[in-house]
Chain A
């Protein structure tokens, strides 16, 4: 039962991830007074890419062929233990919050290495920026993890979710809200959105994620793009279900799961609107202003942790 639920949650994440991405793009288009592509555009993109031939550089080694599969595999592995509907998972023995962060780092490293395969400038530029910004985001992320783990008494994802859901106004504490804001900034940076990266651009001076997959095509590109949407979905699900686990099912009954599904979709829709608003209202930062942005995330998370230990006395 619990294993079936874990697979169902992972399947939901994987199946709906392109829709989430497409929804953000659609809302953004509306905010900018454009008609924009339909919300299911990403599915059509993936289907088209899967039908196309995959071309690899003559300079690429075996790693370039393996990376898309391992990246998607690692992203799917994380998806099995993220609390989506039900705050417990059959695979939560295998991974906690620290393991999640580390598997996302594995994906990042493989991405950066694959970007260096073709021997072009854009790949190197993107990989270099990606690794630099990730290094700055990591301390803020880790302190947010500390804050959550100390408040909930565990780094297990389902337990954190349960602990926050159990305390009726627990999410209103200053440390929780500060950690949430820090985590939000990190998630914006990690999922490659404005103001850190621009998912809509192919302009070589600004891109990070696009630059890393520039030399991929066909099914390999489809796998990488799909994995990226899954990762974005996982990150936003973590934000909403760890920090604001309203409506999450605490026992596996049909009614509770239904409520949880509605709550989850509603919360993600809210996230999509906030992200789209943010992307429309702010401009992308210059690369060397991004450390200040991530420095702010670090400061917020440090404040979260400090206020946590101060308020607990």
Chain B
């Protein structure tokens, strides 16, 4: 075919281009290149990296079309197989998403004058590590890339080293990530030892030779490790700490792409293995996913920090992905292959759709809060009038993340609802309990996210500015706004062309699910409608809905304009019952979610307290103080006991260290005797 060779060259260009761009500003150059200042080297590296990222996206798109480039190999000097990077059907959608997000996050980056090349180097390096995670076809390389991804992103989280909050976030992130990485590393190394090779097919074969119990235990262990990266509750605590601390373009990559590495791992090592997914894997994942979705949505609602709110929304969507995956595995084990395909299509479609929407949200909101000087919603407001183009991008992101049609996150939820209804109708054991609660819980989580995002957009972008900095916020450079609108357009296209997008995911879906289901059958009328195959159980068409809405808007607009009675709009100050309006009369972010905070108080244990500082007359005190807090329950209920247990064990262990030479000599003697007895 004419493309032969080109795809391989594109893939090599993508990987080497990105890697070279990451290294170029960082490596010391010989003195005759001294004319290349750090700034000019960064100025060269950025376009190269953008080109590499776009090539990566192209490789991903080709991979979805079934074009598999020749893998890149090199021998690192270790025993065993050479390192291998390649693109297969499962990696393709993740590489497509990563390429697009990397290109736009790099293009939309506009560092302050004081920033050295380190930020750019880490940013590109992080993207390289992520690309290597998705493209690795060698267990050791996967672990190295995984570790690189964690370390580089932790460095980006802790970029602002003066901030104690950022340092703590990076610390918690590193510790929890390494617990996950240990589980993954143990599983992969155990398999590699059994297989005598690091290649993925050999690992799968080795797993297939293990007794069922041990293979299930290994798969579950690795799945737990990947679940940490996906941010499933209660191991999600690092996510809302770490994601908001990084600069906005990096947060976009963290939430948009890195979280999906957990999903990728679950698909590849939890499911796509012989005998997998093990019994109970699907149900467990679905239950944890549902719980995570509710936790994420609920905490997003009560959060007043714009970027943390988005991070909690990522937790909600990670839960949704795990729920879809768990439902798919449950349906597969019950023997409903096409229904499992529908749920899996929901999962993969939503992974990309959420990646695009959340990347856009972090870029747009991050830029807005940067311009307004605070991430605290209580200090924002009125930004839409000050930066109208940016507000369009932020609105599209907020509406998408609320799961509204016809945008990027709707069709995935629709498919999942269909899979739940059909799974329940088909009967079948665990679905009878799982489906109703998943349906109701998903509806609640989606409605709560909508409330959270209305709060985010409504409080930050609408109304009056709540601080002088917000009132004086200046729009970002035009080029950046254009890039954000490009990303918004990609997200819109993903939503409107949902049937085509799902048909394009047919290869990865059958790579995971095996034969018996073709995702292209979900798309009807040349990609206009999305329908469930057995005699069209139901069908939707995001494109037709958008067209109808646009048509009716046009008709109503024309009708109003033609009647011409009062076409104009007069502007007047808002009516505030006769007094002059003050920004503090508006609902605050805290006030906005007070009903939900009160309704869910038994679950989230929100605290609030009013104290009177200065007494006036009995009914009108002069000064109040109001304090409100939502305690991080996952930390106090799950992690504090664990930390305390570690401290307790170490305190006990300290007794061994008596500080006396005789005791240490005795230890040596006992150890020696024990070893001699064991070795015989």
Partner-B contacts on A (CB < 8 A):
50-63, 65, 69-70, 72-74, 76-77, 80, 91-99, 102-103, 105-106, 108-109, 112-113, 116-121, 123-125, 127-129, 131-143, 146, 149-150, 153-156, 159, 215, 218-219, 223, 287-288, 291, 298, 302, 305-306, 309
With A77-B552, A103-B405 given, can you name 12 additional A-B contacts, CB distance below 8 Å? A58-B571, A59-B464, A63-B391, A76-B556, A77-B545, A91-B544, A93-B544, A117-B462, A119-B463, A119-B574, A124-B587, A135-B444
Query: With A106-B405, A155-B418 in contact, do A146 and B436 touch (Cβ < 8 Å)?
Result: yes
Contacts of A76 in B (CB 8 A): 548, 552, 556
Most B CB contacts (10 A, CB to CB) among A91, A106, A141 go to A106
Contacts of B144 in A (CB 8 A): none
Most B CB contacts (10 A, CB to CB) among A55, A77, A140, A305 go to A77
Contact with A along B439-480 (1 / 0, CB 8 A): 111111011101101110111011110000000000000000
Provide the bound-state CA to CA distance between A307 and B573, in Å: 56
The closest CB in chain A to the CB of B441 belongs to: A139
Contacts of A133 in B (CB 8 A): 595
The 9 residue pairs across chains A and B that have the minimum distance between CB atoms:
A124-B587, A61-B384, A142-B443, A116-B458, A94-B544, A132-B595, A119-B463, A135-B447, A139-B440
Interface segment, B46-54, B220-228, B266-274, B534-542?
B534-542
Contacts of A124 in B (CB 8 A): 463, 586-587, 591-592
Contacts of B118 in A (CB 8 A): none
The reply to whether the CB of B370 lies closer than 8 angstroms to some CB of chain A is no
Provide the bound-state CA to CA distance between A139 and B446, in Å: 10
The closest CB in chain B to the CB of A10 belongs to: B552
Interface segment, B343-351, B575-583, B662-670?
B575-583
Number of A-B pairs, beta carbon distance below 8 Å = 277
Provide the bound-state CA to CA distance between A51 and B565, in Å: 6
Contacts of A298 in B (CB 8 A): 440
Q: Which of A57, A98, A131, A136 contacts B454 (CB 8 A)?
A: A131
List residues 398-447 of chain B with CB under 8 A from any CB of chain A: 399, 402-405, 410, 414, 417-418, 420-421, 424-425, 427, 432, 435-436, 439-444, 446-447
Contacts of A60 in B (CB 8 A): 462
Q: Which of B439, B557, B566 contacts A54 (CB 8 A)?
A: B566
13 contacts between A and B (CB under 8 A): A59-B463, A59-B574, A73-B549, A93-B539, A127-B454, A131-B450, A132-B593, A139-B444, A142-B417, A150-B421, A155-B537, A219-B560, A306-B436
Are B538 and A72 neighbours in the complex by a CB distance under 8 Å?
no
- Shortest CB distance A151–B (Å): 9
List residues 510-557 of chain B with CB under 8 A from any CB of chain A: 525, 528-529, 531, 536-541, 544-545, 548-553, 556-557
The closest CB in chain A to the CB of B599 belongs to: A291
Provide the bound-state CA to CA distance between A302 and B438, in Å: 12
Provide the bound-state CA to CA distance between A40 and B57, in Å: 59
Q: Which of A99, A123, A135, A287 contacts B451 (CB 8 A)?
A: A135
Are A154 and B538 neighbours in the complex by a CB distance under 8 Å?
yes
Q: Which of A59, A143, A288 contacts B599 (CB 8 A)?
A: A288
Are A128 and B593 neighbours in the complex by a CB distance under 8 Å?
yes
Most A CB contacts (10 A, CB to CB) among B388, B446, B587 go to B587
The closest CB in chain B to the CB of A151 belongs to: B425
- Shortest CB distance B652–A (Å): 48
Query: With A55-B570, A154-B537 in contact, do A61 and B385 touch (Cβ < 8 Å)?
Result: yes
Most A CB contacts (10 A, CB to CB) among B402, B420, B455, B539 go to B539
> What size tier do the contact residues of chain B reach?
35 or more
Q: Is the interface of B mostly helix, strand, loop or mixed?
A: helix
Are B436 and A302 neighbours in the complex by a CB distance under 8 Å?
yes
The reply to whether the CB of B381 lies closer than 8 angstroms to some CB of chain A is yes
The closest CB in chain B to the CB of A142 belongs to: B443
The reply to whether the CB of B486 lies closer than 8 angstroms to some CB of chain A is no
The reply to whether the CB of B594 lies closer than 8 angstroms to some CB of chain A is yes
The closest CB in chain B to the CB of A309 belongs to: B432
Q: Which of B405, B458, B525, B550 contacts A93 (CB 8 A)?
A: B525
Contacts of A95 in B (CB 8 A): 540-541, 545
Provide the bound-state CA to CA distance between A58 and B382, in Å: 11
- Shortest CB distance A6–B (Å): 11
The closest CB in chain B to the CB of A298 belongs to: B440
Are A146 and B424 neighbours in the complex by a CB distance under 8 Å?
yes
The reply to whether the CB of B568 lies closer than 8 angstroms to some CB of chain A is yes
Contacts of B586 in A (CB 8 A): 116, 119-121, 124
Contacts of A287 in B (CB 8 A): 595
Q: Which of A53, A125, A156 contacts B568 (CB 8 A)?
A: A53
- Shortest CB distance A143–B (Å): 5
Q: Which of B403, B425, B457, B556 contacts A150 (CB 8 A)?
A: B425
Query: With A58-B573, A72-B556, A119-B464 in contact, do A150 and B538 touch (Cβ < 8 Å)?
Result: no
The reply to whether the CB of B563 lies closer than 8 angstroms to some CB of chain A is yes
The reply to whether the CB of B676 lies closer than 8 angstroms to some CB of chain A is no
The closest CB in chain B to the CB of A113 belongs to: B458
The closest CB in chain B to the CB of A140 belongs to: B440
Are B592 and A146 neighbours in the complex by a CB distance under 8 Å?
no
Are B403 and A102 neighbours in the complex by a CB distance under 8 Å?
yes
The closest CB in chain B to the CB of A226 belongs to: B556
Are B454 and A109 neighbours in the complex by a CB distance under 8 Å?
yes
Are B447 and A138 neighbours in the complex by a CB distance under 8 Å?
yes
Provide the bound-state CA to CA distance between A309 and B569, in Å: 56
Provide the bound-state CA to CA distance between A125 and B586, in Å: 9
Provide the bound-state CA to CA distance between A123 and B458, in Å: 11
Contacts of A61 in B (CB 8 A): 384-385, 388, 391, 461-462
Provide the bound-state CA to CA distance between A124 and B593, in Å: 10
- Shortest CB distance B589–A (Å): 10
Provide the bound-state CA to CA distance between A91 and B540, in Å: 10
Provide the bound-state CA to CA distance between A52 and B570, in Å: 11
Contacts of A96 in B (CB 8 A): 538-540
The reply to whether the CB of B585 lies closer than 8 angstroms to some CB of chain A is yes
Contacts of B384 in A (CB 8 A): 61-63
Q: Which of A129, A143, A288 contacts B439 (CB 8 A)?
A: A143
- Shortest CB distance B369–A (Å): 17
Provide the bound-state CA to CA distance between A69 and B548, in Å: 13
Are B552 and A116 neighbours in the complex by a CB distance under 8 Å?
no
Query: With A146-B421, A155-B418 in contact, do A62 and B388 touch (Cβ < 8 Å)?
Result: yes
- Shortest CB distance B463–A (Å): 4
Are A51 and B566 neighbours in the complex by a CB distance under 8 Å?
yes
Q: Which of B381, B414, B446, B599 contacts A119 (CB 8 A)?
A: B381
The reply to whether the CB of B217 lies closer than 8 angstroms to some CB of chain A is no
Contacts of B583 in A (CB 8 A): 119
Provide the bound-state CA to CA distance between A150 and B417, in Å: 12
Provide the bound-state CA to CA distance between A245 and B461, in Å: 45
The reply to whether the CB of B395 lies closer than 8 angstroms to some CB of chain A is yes
- Shortest CB distance A310–B (Å): 10
Q: Which of A135, A154, A288, A291 contacts B448 (CB 8 A)?
A: A135
Contacts of B444 in A (CB 8 A): 135-136, 138-139
- Shortest CB distance B391–A (Å): 7
The closest CB in chain B to the CB of A124 belongs to: B587
Contacts of B29 in A (CB 8 A): none
Are B529 and A93 neighbours in the complex by a CB distance under 8 Å?
yes
The reply to whether the CB of B598 lies closer than 8 angstroms to some CB of chain A is yes
Provide the bound-state CA to CA distance between A146 and B458, in Å: 32
